[in-house]
Amino acid sequence: MDMIYTKKIGMAIKFAAKTHNQYQNQTRKGKVIPYISHPLTAGIILALAGASEDVVVAGILHDTIEDSVPEKKVTAEMLSERFGDRVAGLVLSVTETDKTLSWDDRKRQALEHVAHFSNDSLLVKSADILSNVSETVNDYRNHGDEVFAHFSVPKEKMIGHQLSVIAAILERWKENPLTEDLLSIEGELRAIRAE
């Protein structure tokens, strides 16, 4: 019988927890909720979607390169050594690699990269956006527009980018097992933008 909760998944959870919480006490924007809740949610979404072990692991690790601190910098080589080339490649594919760029330039590049994603990268990105946007929608229902004060860009720009990413994912892979979830959250975002 194949194991479901594998050693590799356990190692990924530990690695992500160290990167986001132990080394920098990272929290979700405007909250005291530990950041690790986001990559764990992405991993759960991927597992429920029937993704392979490597894709689930990549979902758990997807922000480790992008969000690691300089003194504990996570690299693709480090991920490759611990989790394999496939996992490292998937994480790197969804990573914004140049944090010195402006928000607009980073998000434009990230959106352009979606056109070249493999289905597995699209799946990781889908889980990432579902986790993030669902949380934003829920927070908006509870706190209104003040939720957007925690972001570096205005509400309209943030929602516009999220809608663009969802549209790019849906356009790129029609058979994505997370299509219904993406369409649902897209509708909720459009409703918030209209308010």
Tokens standing for 144?
């209104």
Residue from 67, 120, 128, 135 carrying the catalytic annotation: 67
Q: Which residue has 């356009």 as its token pair? A: 171
Q: Which residues, including other chains, have CB under 8 Å from residue 48's CB and lie 6 or more apart?
A: none
CA 66 to centroid of chain Cα atoms: 11
Question: Is 188 considered catalytic here?
Answer: no
Integer Cα distance of 57 and 53 in angstroms: 6
Are residues 26 and 67 in contact, defined by beta-carbon separation less than 8 angstroms? yes
Question: Is 66 considered catalytic here?
Answer: yes
Integer Cα distance of 93 and 74 in angstroms: 15
Q: At what angle do helices 179-194 and 119-143 cross, to 10 degrees?
A: 40
Integer Cα distance of 187 and 166 in angstroms: 11
Q: Which residues, including other chains, have CB under 8 Å from residue 10's CB and lie 6 or more apart?
A: none
Tokens standing for 96?
């914004």
Which residues does the annotation mark as catalytic? 66-67
